[in-house]
A and B are shown apart, each in its own frame.
Chain A
Amino acid sequence: MTSKIINMAERLKDAEDRLLESLFESAPIADDGFSEQIVRRVNRQLWVRRLTLPIAAVIGGLIAFKPLVGLLSVIENLSGMISVDTAGLAASSMPQIQFIVLGAVLLGAALLGARMLED
């Protein structure tokens, strides 16, 4: 008797669910260029992102150009004021050219390695 009641309740629940499913059912919506519009927006977004960094770098470079030239001329004037002895001392304390080249090669290799790891 109890199982019959449970079965009846289950059947009623299913009927209700089926009724709700039929009520909620709706015809599929045709694409009509919707997905193409999304892809266009995504492509536009990708281009904007790709161009943002180089454009920002160019704008930053243009903004920084004038102060940078001013700074270089100040450094040039200052270096003229430094005595020859001091300049000679500074030159002798600079690392030799082969070490600079080796450092640059190592830095390049490290950057390449990091990029490969990232990929």
Chain B
Amino acid sequence: MTQAEDNDLVARAVSSQDTAAFGELVRRHQSHVRNFLRKLCGDYALADDLAQDCFIHAWDKLQTYSGRGSFIGWVLKVAYTTFLQSKRKSKRYAEILESAGHVADQESRSKVLPSDEITDLEKFLAVLDDEERAIMVMSYACGLSHREIGMATEMPVGTVKSIIFRGKEKIRNSFDIKDHQHG
């Protein structure tokens, strides 16, 4: 799975509207994108729906991919934007319901897993805000470089580094990582 192959597939998809080439790109990167969104949302079904929307947006915007960074970095940027848009939409929906005097049912408000199903990672992710979570997942789960994360989140590399540092510190403080390391 090389960058050159990805770029070739993108070129084919853009120049001749080749949906088979785009399908190949989706097949190559769907796992990373779905994993990224699953970790961000914590809800697998919603994450998979968002992943579908993300790839549809990616198809619409494919001509804007310049080929400078990695394709996965670019797709994760689209995925993160899709996630933020969906979050904003559901927040607005909840506000409309509230202003209309309705109270969203508990189930739809918080999709919290039963405590025995919560993994260590989910506990760690719970102490981070959305931005920190996205950047930590891009760095540690997707293996993106700080520069690639900067491009995906439209942040300077220095900011990315400080967010990672802050995230690590939060995890360290909340879960006493040092003991975990040495013990």
Contact = CB atoms under 8 A, between A and B. Distances in A.
Interface of A: 12, 15-17, 19-21, 23-26, 28-31, 34-39, 41-43, 45-46
The contact size tier of chain B is 20 to 34
A25 to B, nearest CB: 7
Interface in B21-56: 22-24, 26-27, 30-31, 34-35, 38-39, 48, 51-52, 55-56
A31 B137 contact: no
B26 A35 contact: yes
Given A23-B121, A39-B22, A28 B31 contact: yes
A23 B59 contact: no
B181 A16 contact: yes
B86 interface: no
A23 to B, nearest CB: 5
A38 B168 contact: no
Contact of A42 (B56, B137, B141): B56
Interface string B128-148: 000000001100110000000
